[in-house]
Structure 1
């Protein structure tokens, strides 16, 4: 299943990243789309256009980038590397996209079962539906609900913004737009 508005050569891939710049402390971001114009990220932190960032992308590693556009809670970067290296990274991200479309899970942090499992999910169309949390980690969550949500869709779980990363037999997996601090994270978490 492809991002609803994805164009040819645009691939939805949702994996966490840790980004930083020379004059900026590190911040979490989540990849969104890989396209000919660059890697699209969602984050609560918005860098500046032309800012150079190092982005340590889960399963890819650290890459040097330059921000080419910003908007809302999103930004787009281009890789600062030789053409061969850029092509190799693009292939890896496309492979991750295909794996996610085939519902292969991507885990960044250990999971716990929260004590409070009932939660509401706000869908992109504004509907609010009840859901049950199955497990949660500092970077994402698995839950069940009685509504279809597309891979790549933006949702709000309780008060926490996230993006749907995968479907599985009895539920949905989502990656938080901003990961929780793993040291401050436990089964008492409330989204």
Structure 2
């Protein structure tokens, strides 16, 4: 179990931390996003490996694989990152506890990842999102994989909405701050992905 050499806070006593390495992105109060990876997590807090540190008390929003959006405040620096609280309702904390239990069991049992394909950042992130009515909307691709993409857009599209990204048909599967995650209608091969998104 990963341990921080600092006095245990009430928050950390109340929730057991699970050692999980989840990839994701986080946003600081500057509104800039950076890649990150969790070291450990509980329903009340988490430790992140992060290239740009948050300031003490700064609000942080993170989007983590398998977990989704979590937000809280930075509570202390750690080597190569920081620890933050997780602000959530009791219901969301219960859900988070169940997700963390599943993730911990998955790593013990060696179960495969849910995320089927590695994500890459395209050389040219500018693209066009076409909605069902044929309207074209400029967007920026954050990352793309053989099965989907994350894009920044001002559009508020409901989950399940069919769209076309460039020439690829997809549907909305998740929302995050200033953007949406798409799942492609069919899985692509690397060649067609490079042709479309570089």
TM-score scaled to structure 1, two decimals?
0.49
Task: Please identify which structure carries the higher helix content.
Answer: 2
Q: Which of the two has higher C-alpha Rg?
A: 2
Task: Please identify which structure carries the higher strand content.
Answer: 1
TM-score scaled to structure 2, two decimals?
0.48
